[in-house]
C-alpha cells in the first residue's frame, strides 16, 4: 500500500509538468548528504511516520468486482493508516525554492484526495477514497521540527502532507458465478443395499398405501383429554 501511495503522489506531481522542466521527484530523506548530492531542482516527499487510525477499524469483508460488476473476490475489511510526508524543494536560490514550493502547494491543495485514475494495485481494486490533508493535525505523530532535528539538517520551508490510505485485508477468490437454475435429474433405477434382491424396496412395518393424495393427505389428529371438537356434544 505504501509504494502505491508513493506512485500516486509522483503521478500527481508529474501532471503539473515538473519533470518536463527538469525537476526531479524523489522520496529520499532530506539529510545533509542528500542536499550535497543533488545537482538539479528537486521535490522530495519523505515518508517520516505512519500510524493506524484505530477509529476506522472494522470487521467483515469487502467484495471485489470486475468490470461487469461481478464479484471475483472478497477482502477482509481494510485497515486505515495515516502516512505523514515531509515535502521539501531544493534549488540553488531561495527565490526559486519558494516559487517551486508554491507550485507544489497549489497541486496538493487542488484535490481533497488522490484521484482514482492515479491509484494502482490494491488501492485501485478497493475503489476507496484516499484523502489528502496538509492542515498538520496533531494525531500523535512526530512534529516537523522533531523530524528535522532527527535528520540533522537545517530547518527549511516544507509541507506536512498526510495521506489516509486503506491497507487491504486478506484476499479470498470468489467461486464462479451461478449462471443457471437448479437442475434435478431422476432415474428409474432402484438402489438396493448389499445382499438385497434386485428391485427390492425398503418398507416400514404396518405402512399402508397413502392413497391418491400421497403423504400430504389431510389427517384427523386426536384431541387432548377433556377437549371436544366444535359443534359436537360433550361426552
Q: Residue 192 falls within a domain, yes or no?
A: no
The residue with greater pLDDT, 86 or 216, is 86
pLDDT digits (tens, 9 = 90+) for 38-89: 888 999 999 998 898 888 777 777 777 777 777 787 767 888 999 999 999 9
CATH number of the domain enclosing 130: 3.30.2000
Q: What is the mean pLDDT of residues 182-199?
A: 61
Q: What is the number of alpha carbons within 13 Å of residue 13 lying toward its C-beta?
A: 27
C-alpha gyration radius of the chain: 35
Q: How far apart are CA 233 and CA 7, in angstroms?
A: 90
Averaged pLDDT score across all residues of the chain:
80
Q: Which domain holds residue 107?
A: 2-172
pLDDT in the model for residue 139: 67
Cell of 188: 428409474
pLDDT in the model for residue 108: 92
Query: SS3 for 7?
Result: helix
pLDDT at 131 over 80: yes
pLDDT at 9 over 90: yes
Q: How far apart are CA 61 and CA 71, in angstroms?
A: 12
What is the full DSSP assignment across 199-226?
T-----TT-----TTGGGS--PPPPPTT
pLDDT digits (tens, 9 = 90+) for 109-122: 999 999 999 999 88
Q: Residue 196 falls within a domain, yes or no?
A: no
Look-up of cell digits 522533531: 146
pLDDT at 151 over 80: yes
pLDDT at 192 over 60: no
Q: Residue 179 falls within a domain, yes or no?
A: no
Q: What is the pTM of this model?
A: 0.66
Helices and strands in the chain: count of H runs, count of E runs: 5, 8
> Considering only CA atoms, which of 73, 82, 103 is closest in space to residue 175?
73
Residues 79, 110 contacting (CB under 8 angstroms): no
pLDDT at 194 over 90: no
Tally of residues, the chain: 235
Q: How far apart are CA 141 and CA 135, in angstroms?
A: 13
Q: Residue 209 falls within a domain, yes or no?
A: no
- The total domain count for the chain is 1
Residues 27, 48 contacting (CB under 8 angstroms): no
Top mean pLDDT of 1-15, 125-139, 168-182 is at 1-15
Q: Residue 221 falls within a domain, yes or no?
A: no
Amino acid at each position: 500500500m505504501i509504494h502505491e501511495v508513493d506512485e500516486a503522489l509522483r503521478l500527481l506531481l508529474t501532471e503539473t509538468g515538473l519533470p518536463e522542466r527538469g525537476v526531479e521527484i524523489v522520496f529520499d530523506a532530506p539529510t545533509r548528504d542528500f542536499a550535497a548530492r543533488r545537482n538539479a531542482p528537486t521535490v522530495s516527499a519523505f515518508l517520516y511516520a505512519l500510524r493506524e487510525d484505530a477509529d476506522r477499524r472494522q470487521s467483515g469483508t469487502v467484495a471485489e468486482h470486475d468490470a461487469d460488476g461481478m464479484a471475483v473476490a472478497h477482502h477482509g475489511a481494510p485497515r486505515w493508516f495515516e502516512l505523514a510526508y515531509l515535502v521539501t524543494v531544493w534549488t540553488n536560490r531561495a527565490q526559486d525554492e519558494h516559487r517551486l514550493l508554491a507550485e507544489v502547494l497549489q497541486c496538493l491543495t487542488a484535490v481533497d484526495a488522490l484521484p482514482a485514475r492515479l491509484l494502482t494495485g490494491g488501492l485501485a481494486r478497493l475503489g476507496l477514497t484516499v484523502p489528502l490533508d496538509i492542515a498538520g493535525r496533531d494525531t500523535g505523530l512526530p512534529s516537523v521540527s522533531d523530524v528535522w532535528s532527527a535528520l540533522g539538517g537545517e530547518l527549511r520551508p516544507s509541507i506536512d502532507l498526510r495521506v489516509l490510505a486503506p491497507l487491504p485485508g486478506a484476499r479470498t477468490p470468489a467461486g464462479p458465478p451461478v449462471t443457471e437454475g437448479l437442475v434435478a435429474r431422476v432415474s428409474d433405477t432402484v438402489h438396493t443395499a448389499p445382499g438385497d434382491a434386485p428391485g427390492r424396496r425398503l418398507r416400514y412395518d404396518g405402512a399402508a398405501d397413502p392413497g391418491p393424495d400421497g403423504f400430504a393427505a389431510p389427517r384427523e389428529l386426536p384431541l387432548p383429554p377433556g377437549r371436544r371438537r366444535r359443534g359436537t356434544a360433550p361426552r
